[in-house]
Amino acid sequence: MNGRSLFRACRWFGLAAAAPLLWACNARSVEAPHLKPEQTYLQTFQQSINRNVDLLFMVDNSSSMKPLQDNLRANFPKFMQRLMDPPGLPNIHVAVVTSDMGAANPGGNGQIGDCSTAFPNGYAGDNGVFQSAAHLDPLNPHVTTPCTTAGLEPGATFISDIAGVRNYTGNLEDVFSCMAAVGEGGCGFEHQFASVLRALGADGLGAAPQENDHFLRDDAYLAVIMITNEDDCSARVEQPVFDTTANANLSDMLGPIINFRCNEFGHVCRRNGMAGAPDRHAPGNDVNATVTYDGCESNEDGYLLSARDTAERLKALKPGSPGMVLAAAITGVPTPYTVHWTKSTNNDTSCGGALCAWPVISHSCMATGGTAAGSYADPGVRIKAFVDQFGSNGLTTSICEDSFAPALDTIAELINVKLRQSCIAGQVANKPGTSQPDCTVVNHVRNSENQIIDQPVAACADNGNTAPCWRLIDPPDRTDADCPAPYQILDPDMIKDPKVAADAVKNATVNCAICTPGVTDAARGCP
């Protein structure tokens, strides 16, 4: 057989080079493999592989969260261990925000407990500002210890570890443990969605807080990870969800000022074949009654922020590349969804009879061992709906596990999948009459004038193995489950140019000719 036995396959691969390279494929012209056009068939495959990741942890800081925060802090090293899988730690930013955004109360008569409304954008609490101090004393939730004591540089509000350049000393895990100790003094109406959007300036209410500057990188993956035992209650700032003037009793339009408002106006559920909001009224005003619902979903058209819109706003941070945003949650399982009742706390008799029964959402799960023993969670209906918007880039796990280690390991692996260099599936053809793979490689580098220029890379076989050069290798720890043999990747250690700063290298383009399976061409090394 001759060249007619080959298909021409243009394969574009991000190169797993030194940190902090940005892996993004560009359709730039490169030297074509040595296959005659009239004897080939064009096939194109593109993939972007990126070693830059911005990790934003949203940690619930309402009451009852301390043991769950301790579980996160104790098992975070498992997350980091998995992120360090070959080829090693990516170029990361790590930040922590809380669920405390106050309780927007337009026209109301003031704040609800610690749920203030002090900021011009209508929110309050921590307002999406990155946390860089620990709340370690449960008796004094507003007393903090700066994370500089754990090694964070003075003035830093998030962790940065890029190509070995760090803004902290000591162990990254210790610094994160400090940042994630956000305490239990936050607003009990958790605003997980609003906090994340505000932290990244994605809520349409202006730029992100100044303290969060330089965290979000245009060329990095964004991973949002929520740790919370209650569902999202992010109200639109113009809506009176937390009104305290005309809404305090069961018969009022919004009902009592309790967490069930978040369920009633945030969920749509089914019971006896009918869909609607979970009912705040107990059957017969019986304080001992329970009601179970099926198929509960996020109310996307109500007073609260839409789970779908929240996800779309985050994806919009990566124009043209929504797949660069990942979402994960360690939260309450959405079922069972049961409502029970308790006696009112303000002598409410507005139901027309004796003391009114007030609704309470029952816990959907409870931890039985470990540091989180006795901890509980309510149905995370809206949290799951949010994560589900990311498809295969989303992951929801239960917060009621004795250890978060398995969940954190799985979340880190979800991120690693995005970071790995893809294999070249199939046999790479040789240049005619040689044993050298028929490939070309071009690095795209930012020069001193901030322009991207193309720099062809020689084959290592042609330049005496002097970096930068390219050669194909079997990837470390390869398995046929990842990609059937034979397959190869570019050697990440040789493609690096030691004379070019790591942050100046933006991406690289690889173009290889692939043998046609089952068609022999000895001149091309195709079996």
pLDDT at residue number 36: 34
Q: Are residues 42 and 74 in the same domain?
A: no
341's torsion region: left (phi>0), alpha (psi -120 to 50) or beta? Answer: beta
* Cis peptide bond N-terminal to 492, omega within 30: no
Residue 45 pLDDT class (50, 70, 90 cuts): very low
On average, the pLDDT of the chain sits at: 83
Mean pLDDT along residues 333-360: 93
Q: In which band, very low, low, confident or very high, does the pLDDT at 106 lie, cut at 50, 70 and 90?
A: low
Same domain, 391 and 507: no
Q: How confident is the model at residue 43 (pLDDT cuts 50, 70, 90)?
A: very low
CATH number at residue 374: 3.40.50.410
β-strands 337-343, 357-361 pairing: antiparallel
Phi and psi based region of residue 164 (left: phi greater than 0; alpha: psi -120 to 50; beta: remaining): left
Q: Which residues pair with 222 in a beta bridge?
A: 54, 325
pLDDT at residue 230 greater than cutoff 70: yes
Distance CA(260)–CA(255), nearest Å, equals 9
pLDDT value of position 42:
24
Q: Which residues are bridge partners to 342 per DSSP?
A: 358
Asked, for residue 255, whether it belongs to a domain, the answer is no
pLDDT in the model for residue 224: 98
Q: Answer whether residue 17 shows pLDDT above 60.
A: no
**From 62-66, 405-409, 419-423, 442-446, the region with the lowest mean pLDDT:** 419-423
Q: Is the dihedral of CA 228, 230, 231, 235 positive or negative?
A: negative
Residues 128, 19 share a domain: no
Within-domain flag for 343: no
Q: Which residue has the higher pLDDT, 292 or 21?
A: 292
Residue with tokens 């056009």: 37
> Are residues 401 and 474 both part of a single domain?
no
Q: Which amino acid is at 501?
A: A
**Measured at the alpha carbon of residue 198, what is the angle toward residues 105 and 246, in degrees to the nearest 5?**
10
Taking Cα atoms as reference points, which of 253, 232, 389 lies closest to residue 314? 389
Helix 381-388 × helix 192-199 angle, to 10°: 40
Whether 109 and 236 share a structural domain: yes
Domain count, the chain: 2
Quickly list DSSP for 337-363: EEEEEEE-SS---TTSSSSPEEEEEPP
Place of tokens 């942050």: 503
- Flag the least confident range among 76-85, 296-305, 373-382, 470-479: 470-479
pLDDT of residue 5: 40
Owning domain of residue 12: 3-48+433-524
For residue 499, is pLDDT > 90? no
Residue 435, both tokens = 């044993």
Average pLDDT over residues 438-454: 79
Whether residue 386 contacts residue 309, with contact meaning beta carbons closer than 8 Å, is answered with no
Q: Residue 257: inside a domain, yes or no?
A: no
Looking at the fold, whether 375 and 494 belong to one and the same domain comes out as no
| Least trusted range by pLDDT, from 11-20, 172-181, 385-394, 414-423 | 11-20
**For range 16-38, the mean pLDDT:** 36
Q: What is the pLDDT of residue 422?
A: 65
- Across 47-56, 320-329, 397-406, least confident range: 47-56
**pLDDT tens, 173-197?**
999 999 999 999 899 999 999 999 9
Report the pLDDT value the prediction gives residue 363, as an integer from 0 to 100: 97
If asked whether residues 475 and 408 sit together in one domain, one would say: no
Distance from C-alpha of 370 to C-alpha of 120, rounded to nearest angstrom: 42
Confidence of residue 37 (pLDDT cuts 50, 70, 90): very low
Residues 196/224, Cβ–Cβ less than 8 Å: yes
Residue 489 resides in a domain: yes
Structure confidence at residue 48 (pLDDT): 41
Query: Rounded to 5 degrees, what are φ and ψ at 206?
Result: 110, 180
Of these ranges, 13-27, 203-217, 340-354, the one predicted with the greatest mean pLDDT is: 203-217
Q: Which residue has the higher pLDDT, 373 or 465?
A: 465
Contact 326, 221 (CB under 8 A): yes
Whether the per-residue pLDDT at 22 is higher than 70: the answer is no
286 domain residue, yes or no: no
Are 228 and 87 in a shared domain? yes
Kindly state the average pLDDT of the residues 286-301.
96
In a domain, 355, yes or no: no
Torsion sign, CA atoms 200, 206, 209, 212 = positive
Task: Name 235's Cβ contacts closer than 8 Å, sequence gap at least 6.
Answer: 103, 104, 189, 191, 194, 241, 242, 303, 304, 305
End-to-end CA distance of the chain: 11
Buried b (16+ CB within 10 A) or exposed e, 384-420: bbbbebbeebbbbbbbbbebbbebbbebbebbbebbb
Per-residue pLDDT band for 206 (boundaries 50, 70, 90) equals very high
Distance CA 192, CA 97 (A): 9
Cis peptide upstream of residue 476 (ω within 30 degrees of 0)? no
Beta bridge mates, 274:
271
pLDDT over 60 (residue 76) = yes
**Nearest in space to 343 (alpha carbons), one of 360, 320, 322, 331:** 360
- More confident: 388 or 7: 388
With cut-offs at 50, 70 and 90, classify the pLDDT of residue 280: very high
Give residue 85's pLDDT: 86
